[in-house]
Structure 1
Amino acid sequence: MKKAVFLDRDGVINEVLTDRVKFVNEPNQLYFLPGVAEAIKQLNQLFDYIFVVTNQGGVGLGYMKESKLKSIHDHMIAELAKEGAIIDEVVYCPHKPKSGCDCRKPHSKLIENLAINYDVDLSTSYMIGDTDTDIIAGKRAGTKTVYLGATDPIADAVFPDLLHAVPWIIDDMVK
């Protein structure tokens, strides 16, 4: 079986709720966080797949069309690839918050579906996010979890950003 890293998007890969951008509604509003391309490039060397798993309730709320979201993701993948950082697939929940769907994190359906489709062993994989919903989704799916921020009581590890998390993941993999 294969190993994967599942990354949340907003707050892990790109800026959100900053002075520059509130929400990413256009490709040109996607600003990468420092060190993201380098971190993904390092993870590409160790893992079979890097996936992005993201809640995008703006689609369900009517703030953005699904075609626009896909263009944002295509732009993100292309820009990261220019730096040698490969994202294998992006999956998202387009539904409104509190819609009751089973694909919105903290549910783990998106992660589990990717694992089935790509023959991924979730117990040797990692979910990295910046909210409790990301961490809970990873735990429910059976991955190890990394929280990006100040503190999280249920995550396996906590780091300020993705680049700082990579050495711990590398070390944890060989244990």
Structure 2
Amino acid sequence: MKINEVDIRKYDTLLLDRDGTINVHIIGDYVRCWEDFEFIPNVVETIAKWSSQLKHIFIVTNQRGIGKGKYTENDLDIIHSHMVEEIEKSGGRIDHIYFCSSLTNDDIRRKPGRGMFDDILHDYPDVEISKTLMIGDSDVDRDFAKNIGIDFVRVDSLKKQGNKKYWVLA
């Protein structure tokens, strides 16, 4: 399923994975700078449409590349600033971006652990679990949603290896 086919009408809060859901996932590497970032087709327009229908839209993303020293938190901030700017230019919004740079899967903040969602609940106490949807492209995203007790929709992922791009169907 493509992201623009997801029905969000029964939800008021949306959690989005980033790599492979919002932007093209680079196989074997990381989005290290804005020049590496490429939106998946129709994502920006879809987020813009949803922005008028949802109370909250959050991104929850594992960013192990920071922990590995492949890029810095400042690099990530620049990427995210540009990403949000492009979404806003199209009439959309992202309320907050939560990320975990931990190298260990034991870190509760790293998906599939529920730590980033606990951060959301702390920062936005009006979020209701029963009205929250997670959209992602991986088993980790699915398990994150399961650990929280929210609905999950897996979407097709656009991946890139070298100069070759290909869709991985949900």
Pick the TM interval, shorter chain: 0.7 to 0.9
1:7 matches 2:11: no
Q: Residue type matched to 1:6 in 2?
A: L
Percent of pairs with identical residues: 34
1:51 matches 2:74: no
* The structure with more helix, counted as a fraction of residues: 1
Runs of 4+ aligned structure 1 residues displaced above 6 Å come to none
Cα displacement string for residues 124-174 of structure 1 (whole angstroms, at most 9, x for unaligned residues): 110011111111111211211011139xxxxxxxx958xxxxxxxxxxxxx
Task: Report the count of equivalent residues.
Answer: 149
* The structure with more strand, counted as a fraction of residues: 2
After TM superposition, the structure 1 = structure 2 runs for residues 116-155 of structure 1, keeping only pairs within 5 Å, are 116-118=122-124, 119-149=126-156
Preserved CA contact (<8 Å) 2:59 2:97: yes
Q: Which one of the candidate residues 95, 101, 108 is aligned to 1:102?
A: 108
After TM superposition, the structure 1 = structure 2 runs for residues 27-42 of structure 1, keeping only pairs within 5 Å, are 27-42=34-49
Query: 2 CA distance for matches of 1:134 and 1:99?
Result: 14
DSSP-derived class of the 1:139 partner = helix
Q: TM-score, normalised by structure 1?
A: 0.78
1:60 matches 2:64: no
RMSD: 2.1
Unaligned runs of 5+ in 2: 1-10, 158-167
Query: How far off its partner does 1:63 sit?
Result: 0.6
Larger RCO: 1 or 2 (CA < 8 Å, sep 6+)? 2
Q: TM-score, normalised by structure 2?
A: 0.81
Unaligned runs of 5+ in 1: 151-158, 162-175
Q: Which one of the candidate residues 115, 119, 130 is aligned to 2:121?
A: 115
